[in-house]
Amino acid sequence: MKKNNAERTYFDQVHVWGRLWTVGAIITFLSFPFAISAYFNVWPTFTQVITPALQIIAIYWPTAVIEVIAFVPMMGSGASYLSFVSGNISNLKLPCALAGMENAKVRPNTEEGEVISTIAAGVSAIVTTIVIAAGVLLFSPFLHYFTDADSVFAPAFTYVLPALFGALGASYLAKHWRTAIAPVIAGVIILIFAPTMGIGTLMFPTIVVAIVSALVIFKVQDKKEKKAAKA
């Protein structure tokens, strides 16, 4: 017997609406090129579509799979659905969701954590849209003075993302420095041998190393506490 809306749990409703909005977003994204082709009556051939698509798929599909595996356990279902539709996950939605849960002192994959992370990701999406709109309207006439190659400010824009991750990561490294040592070393070693690896791909092995190292540290600490208790 199917549940009615009143009987659905919070997580049931999150998955129902998340899937609906995800499918709706995909349809919306695909409708624009179809509308342009229909309006001008110009349709690309299968070869013209599949040849460049295969090159893109080889790059982005592994990253997409890795991001789902890495991000969803940290963000929760609601924030993940919202983030994968609106984008800017690693540099905006994920840090906001983690910071929101940390400030609220709730854990991921709990009902409280799910609510806080979804609100944080939603607010991030709204603020991002407002800031981008304001930037386009107010700063577009002057933007080239800052971003042109000959501008004195141009070098700063190449370090915006590293500066963002550095500022966000510093607080976590300070609080959990023992857990952070292994993944940082793993990331450095990987980048030495694969310096062009994308951040989405790089995050997966470093997260695995972080989980394994955290388990080892926990086991060692647990043994020390048990020995101290027996003594």
Q: What pLDDT, in 10s, does the model give residues 164-196?
A: 777 767 777 777 788 888 888 998 998 898 888
Residues in the chain: 231
**How far is Cα 163 from Cα 147, in angstroms, rounded to an integer?**
17
Alpha helices (runs of H) in 87-198, residue ranges in sequence order: 94-104, 111-139, 143-147, 154-157, 160-175, 177-193
pLDDT at 200: 65
Q: Residues 42, 105: contact at Cβ < 8 Å?
A: no
**pLDDT value of position 58:** 67
Residues 6 or more apart whose Cβ sits within 8 Å of residue 70 = 203, 204, 207
Q: Are the C-beta atoms of residues 189 and 181 closer than 8 Å to each other?
A: no
- Angle value at C-alpha 79, between 200 and 176, nearest 5 degrees: 60
Q: Which pLDDT tens digit goes with each residue over 17-45?
A: 889 989 999 999 889 989 999 999 888 88
Q: CA angle, corner 194, sides to 188 and 197, nearest 5?
A: 90
Residue 6's pLDDT band, with cuts at 50, 70 and 90, is very low
Q: Determine the 3-state secondary structure of 44 from DSSP.
A: coil
- What's the Cα-to-Cα distance from 59 to each of 30, 62, 100, 112, 196, rounded to whole Å? 20, 7, 31, 36, 12
Nearest to 168 by CA among 80, 103, 91: 91
Question: Tell me: the pLDDT tens digits for 195-225?
Answer: 887 766 777 788 888 888 888 888 888 888 8
Task: Tell me the percentage of the chain whose pLDDT exceeds 70.
Answer: 92
Residue 74 pLDDT exceeds 70: yes
What average pLDDT is seen over the chain? Answer: 82
Q: Is the pLDDT of residue 136 over 50?
A: yes
CA-based nearest residue to 100, from 84, 113, 86: 113
Whether the predicted model's global pTM rises above the 0.85 cut: no
Cα(193)–Cα(96) distance, rounded to whole angstroms? 31
